[in-house]
Amino acid sequence: MADSRPSRATDGGAERASSEEEDQEELCEALLSAWKPALGDNPRREYEMHRKRWLEAAARVLERHPRDRLSEALAYMVTDEILGSRALTMTGFANVADQLIARAYARRLRTEPNRMRPRAAGAPAWEEARQALQRAIQRHGRDGRRQALEELAAQSALLVRFVERVRWGSLCEQPFQYVERRYAELWGELVEQTNEPAEEPG
């Protein structure tokens, strides 16, 4: 009698397909979250109407780039008036993803001097801190402060102190390009405070 159970190869293929679809859905959700403060639920309605098309576009771009690189592109996307307006759907994002990644990289190089600021042992440079904050905002949104702080605390206690100084609601509502200089200066101050040796009791 033939064994009707699926083979291990079939099981493995199904698991990979399921994992790939989850990655595609997560990327779509990240795009929707990035635009929600500006466009509300309009992109989500487009996603629900053309879900297959969105997932196919997500699959194409995930074949070319790892998620970390795409997260940087999404964080930069909302700051670029030209490319951002062409990335309102996943198909649009896939078409300009390479350009967004390249521009995000160029911005990172321009802010390289921030890495020269003194920093505490284990404290991220401002560029790394900014990326961590933007990822937390994309993943959790304004209402997910507690989850965001848990994620940030796992990376650096300094990130939590930064959020407490700026306030989570302000971070979520104010585009970084308008306040990045102030945020970078505040980050430098927090790092320097951490570096200062504690005063010995008299």
Query: Is the Cβ–Cβ distance between 151 and 80 less than 8 Å?
Result: no
Q: What percentage of the chain reaches a pLDDT higher than 70? A: 81
Q: Which residue has the tokens 């293929």?
A: 13
Tokens 């405070």 belong to residue: 193
> For the residues of 120-132, what is the DSSP string, one character each?
-TTPPPHHHHHHH
CA–CA gap between residue 51 and residue 57 (Å, rounded) = 10
Quote the CA–CA distance of 175 and 193 in Å, as a whole number.
Answer: 26
Over residues 170-184, the pLDDT tens digits come to: 888 877 777 778 888
Whether residue 1 has pLDDT greater than 80: no
pLDDT of residue 186: 87
**Predicted pLDDT at 29:** 94
Answer yes or no: is pLDDT of 14 > 80.
Answer: no
Q: What is the mean pLDDT of the chain?
A: 82
- Residues 70-121 have pLDDT tens digits of 988 998 898 898 999 999 999 999 999 999 999 888 877 776 544 434 444 4
Q: Which two tokens stand for residue 176?
A: 């970084």
pTM of the prediction?
Answer: 0.52
Task: Report CA 160 to chain centroid distance, whole Å.
Answer: 17
Long-range contacts (CB closer than 8 Å, 24 or more residues apart) made by 157-164: 158/120, 158/123, 158/124, 158/129, 158/187, 158/190, 158/191, 158/194, 159/124, 159/129, 159/132, 159/133, 161/190, 162/129, 162/133, 162/186, 162/187, 162/190, 163/133
pLDDT of res. 5: 52
According to DSSP, residue 41 is labeled: T
d(CA 199, CA 196) in angstroms, rounded, equals 9
Could you read off the pLDDT of 115-153 as tens digits, one per residue? 434 444 456 788 888 888 989 999 888 898 989 888 888
